[in-house]
Amino acid sequence: MNTPVPYRIGDQVHCADGECEPLDRVVIDPVAGRATHLVVAGRLVPVDLVEPVEVGDGLRLRCTRAAVERLDPAEETYYLPAGAGLAGYAPEETLLLPYYGLGAGGAGLTPSLLLPDGSPALEVRERIPAGEVQIRHGDRVEAMDGAVGRVQGLVVDPRDHGVTHVLLQEGHLWGRKTVAIPLRETEWRGGQVNVRLSKAELAELPAVELR
């Protein structure tokens, strides 16, 4: 099957042994113009695990749910610097480590990590391979003369996982029309897709039917 297929962010993903989780986002290499990973169930899923399917059949993985859970996590947790004035050290010189206190009823030890004011001292960051970017449902799309809508997904060639188009979410400009923007006309910057076309040029793109 060589027909490019839409990766609609938010659609259900199916594993070899049943439904998994919806597609959260897609990670792409913007230089090579190809998808590298999907983020499903909080894990970085290499696109090589995607089964080739016909348009309209949704995304299917050639691995089980348990195998997905063993993949690298899509987020990392960091300790935040402690506040100023703690034991005479500057914020960049200190980190708050977890301490262990009695759990409910004294039945066990429960890890806790708090700043002096009682607020959590952890920060969760999304992790993607160096030099790559992630595309989310609802990312802003900006034409040369202003905002035009939000990202709905990507169109991917299953032969090499090359991204051919960005799907522009249906908006008020064209009623219920969805358009596919050629990848060569786009660039990603700070969670936004910039398009080297005007609103009028985008309006002339043919509509795409998504099943």
What is the model's pLDDT at position 159? 84
Number of Cβ within a 10 Å radius of residue 165 = 22
The pLDDT value recorded for residue 171 is 55
Q: Tell me the percentage of the chain whose pLDDT exceeds 90.
A: 33
User: Is 136 strand, coil or helix?
Assistant: strand
User: CA 9, CA 102: separation in Å to the nearest integer?
Assistant: 42
Three-state DSSP class for residue 204: coil
Instruction: Specify the amino acid at residue 46.
Output: P
Name the segment(s) of the chain with CATH classification 2.30.30.240. 5-72+131-203
Q: Which residue has the tokens 């989310």?
A: 136
DSSP string for residues in 77-98: EEEPBPPTTBTTB-GGG-BPPP
Q: How do residues 40-85 score in pLDDT, each as one tens digit?
A: 999 999 999 998 766 556 789 999 999 999 999 988 765 555 454 4
Lowest mean pLDDT among 16-20, 99-103, 139-143, 153-157: 99-103
Q: In this structure, are residues 192 and 57 in contact, taking their beta carbons and an 8 Å threshold?
A: no
Cα 92 from Cα 55, distance rounded (Å) = 52
Q: Which residues pair with 81 in a beta bridge?
A: 95
Mean pLDDT of 166-193: 78
- Measured on CA atoms in the order 61, 5, 150, 48, is the torsion positive or negative? positive
User: Which DSSP state fits 73?
Assistant: B
**Is the CB of residue 79 less than 8 Å from the CB of residue 91?**
no
Of 104-108, 140-144, 158-162, 193-197, least confident by mean pLDDT is 104-108
- pLDDT given for residue 158 in this prediction: 84
CATH match of 5-72+131-203 with 2.30.30.240: yes
CB contact at 8 A, 179 and 208:
yes
In angstroms, the CA 191 to CA 177 distance is 23
Contacts of 175 (CB under 8 A, 6+ apart): none
On whether the CB atoms of residues 135 and 9 are closer than 8 A, the answer is yes
DSSP, res 42: T
| 185: pLDDT strictly greater than 90 | yes
User: According to the model, what pLDDT value does residue 106 have?
Assistant: 43
Cα–Cα distance measured from residue 141 to residue 166, given in angstroms and rounded to the nearest whole number:
10
The predicted model gives 111-125 an average pLDDT of 54
